[in-house]
Structures are given as C-alpha cells and as structure tokens.
Copies of this chain bind each other. A is one copy, B any other.
Amino acid sequence: MTQTMDNLCWIAADWGTSHLRLWLMDDQGTVLRHIGSDRGMSSLAPQEFEPTLIDLIGDSLPDQGSIPVVCCGMAGSRQGWAEAPYSKAPCEPPSIDQATRVQTADPRISVFLLPGIKQLPAADVMRGEETQIAGFLSENPKFDGVICLPGTHCKWAHISAGEVVSFRTFMTGELFALLCDASVLRHSVGDDGWDAAAFEAAVSDAMSRPSAVAGNLFSIRAETLLCDLDSAAARSRISGLLIGIELAAARPYWLGQDVVVVGESGIATAYSAGLSQQGAMARNVTAANMTLNGLRAAYTKLIETTP
C-alpha cells in the first residue's frame, strides 16, 4: 500500500482512448511518481472514470484539502468522463480557462478537463495533441512554423503568434496498424526490423505516384509469395508507402517551413527521414515530455489565476 504523499501538489493526467498516464507532481514541478494504466477512455463508462482514478492515486491523496487534477485527451470527449467542448481554430491551445470542471464524489480531488480543438470548414478535430502543442510552445513561445504529431491519427498544425492557425489529420498510423495486424499483409511483415532503403524507395514511389498505393501494397504480398521478400523490407515498405502519400498531401504544411516532429522515437524518425529525403529538415522532440509540459503550463495558469 502506497503512503500519503505529503508533498503532492497536483496531478497531471493524459487520458487517451486506450491508455491513461498520470504524473504526481510536487510544488516545484518535479515528478514524484509516474503511473501508466491501460484503462483508457474506450474501456470506461462515464461513471467509471472517478473510481478508476481514485483506485490508482487514492492512497497518495492527503486527507485535507483538494488536489487539482489537470487532464487532457479523450476523457474530455462526448463518450468520456464529461464533455469538454472544443475550442475552435484559429486559437491558442486551450488551457485552464477553457477547461471543464467535473463534479466528483471524492472531495480530495478537483478535476479539470482540457478541451481539444475543432476546425470548420475543412472539418477536423484533435484531443490531446493541442496539449503537446501547448507544451512545445511553453518552451518555444516565439515559434512560427509547423508541428507534425505522428501517431494513430497524424496531425499537421500551422503555428503562428502562439495560435494553432489550421491543421489537418491523416489516418496513416491506423492504416499501418490495420495492414500489418489484420490484412493479408500480416503474413509478409515481421514484428521488428527496419530496411531504410526499402522505406526510402517506397516514400519516393508513393510521392510520385500516390494513386498506385493500393496496388503497391498488394505487390508486397505478391513479392512475399514469389520472391521471398524479407519481412523487415515488407514492413518498411508499407510504412514508406503510407507516409509517402501523406507527405505528398501535406506538402503545403512542410514546404519551406520550420518543421518540428513531436512523437515517439521510431515513428518520429520515420517521418523525419521521409522529410529529409524531400530536402526538408525537421527537428524531433519527444511526445511524452511535450504532454507533461502542456499540462504544467495549464497548472501554472491555474495557480496564477486562483486568488
């Protein structure tokens, strides 16, 4: 059993579709403890969010007072804990002023759900990535350029004067997972291994002939059957074809821009490699750090504005 943390000051929460990440923070912004859980939004009914949270951090809460929990991600969606209505682009990444307060049965927590951002027309949405953008901007307040956030649904966001000016989402990561895990190509790919040359050739091919992608994907199956195609090459080609057509469509976002890729190492490296092939140099920063920084920025605003 965990003991009450006397120096616990607030809790940062990234509550996504499939995962929950919590950081227990002191008043200096230091992480006292990090907790990861697979109790993501999609596995929970609205009334299950509070018990899930208390189950994970209840023992650490002091008996007196109320600990702020600043939460981003899908917990704020309509099917989540409570709906935190989207901010509308162009806008600053939403912070504590736009957060939705949730009433809790347990008086030891005060929950703030940060909203996502919507865009209309060119209908688009994000929930969670806006907090990574806020985290990046907290360290780079003068940034003017493009932030690329690869993942299940990759986002490209134009940033200027501290605002998300416009953004565009691509289903690249989800398509990659479906093709590797659930399609006929699952017989072709390995779990790991990377073939940089195969990736690079596939990016070039997809960028110059984007329409051919559904045919070029099946070629991977045929080459496995007829030519014993290596499994690392197969996986790298699927990645290259999908990232290639995305880069072709996202050209207005990266061409001649200052580009930052926010993501975990493998996928961020693939995007940077694809961009560098096109002569676009991108910086990489780690997604988890950016999320925590964004939640820190929201908490700072909370204590600044609390009388």
Give A contacts to B, CB under 8 Å.
78, 118-120, 122-125, 152-153, 168-172, 174-175, 178-179, 182-184, 206-207, 209-215, 217-219, 221-223, 225-227, 242, 245-246, 248-250
Contacts and interface: CB of A to CB of B under 8 A. Distances in A.
A45 B195 CA distance: 33
A170 B226 contact: no
Most chain B CB neighbours (cut-off 10 Å) among A171, A184, A214, A249: A214
Q: Say whether chain A's binding surface is mostly helix, strand, loop, or mixed.
A: helix
Most chain B CB neighbours (cut-off 10 Å) among A174, A179, A250: A174
Given A153-B218, A184-B153, A219-B123, A248 B171 contact: no
A174 B184 contact: yes
Contact of A170 (B153, B168, B174, B215): B215
Given A178-B178, A212-B249, 11 more contacts: A123-B222, A169-B215, A171-B184, A171-B214, A172-B214, A174-B184, A178-B183, A207-B211, A209-B249, A210-B213, A211-B248
A246 B214 contact: yes
Contact of A120 (B212, B226, B242): B226
Given A125-B226, A183-B174, A169 B249 contact: no
Nearest to A181: B182
A77 to B, nearest CB: 9
Contacts of A168: 215
Nearest to A119: B222
Contacts of A78: 225
Contacts of A207: 211
A245 B124 contact: no
Nearest to A226: B123
A129 to B, nearest CB: 13
